[in-house]
Amino acid sequence: MSNVVDLGRREPLVWCCAACGCSTFKLYEGGITECAGCELKGSDNGEWIRELPEPAGPVKDKLTDSKVISFSDASPAAALRSMLQRVDADNLVCIIAMETNGRVRTWGGIDTQDRIDWLDRRLREARDLLTMLAPTTKE
């Protein structure tokens, strides 16, 4: 006779470096890891984050150059480091950072009406990406 225990479905987790957010590591004998991005060594040099699959449907079809990553399990500092590592600085148009106290910090090179219209479209699309995976509440 055997007992079968259902442990449930596990979320896909990705180990990311605590210093730079990289998810590629060199593994050495004895359990030592080294970040391939910044070479930070140690067994506690990162944290698990939940990387969600690419969304399907109208948002993904419309935004073929977008990637959705959930940093809800990571600290804000780790999420920021990871995002900065993934951004192409030579093609950066704007940066928008919002803090829990309501402060908004921005930087941008928006200098024509065409760029303003483009920014408005992209901000709407970014909001859709940020909120599409949030649970909906029924009132």
Give the global pTM.
Answer: 0.47
Assign residue 90 a region: left if phi > 0, alpha if psi is -120 to 50, beta otherwise? alpha
Nearest CA to 49 out of 70, 33, 68 is that of 70
* Residue-level pLDDT at 56: 52
Extents of the domains making up the chain: 13-131
* Residue-level pLDDT at 59: 47
Residue 79: pLDDT above 90? Answer: no
Residue 4: pLDDT above 70? Answer: no
List the structure tokens of 118. 């483009």
Helix (H) or strand (E) holding 94: strand 94-98
Task: Tell me the β-bridge partners of 41.
Answer: 34
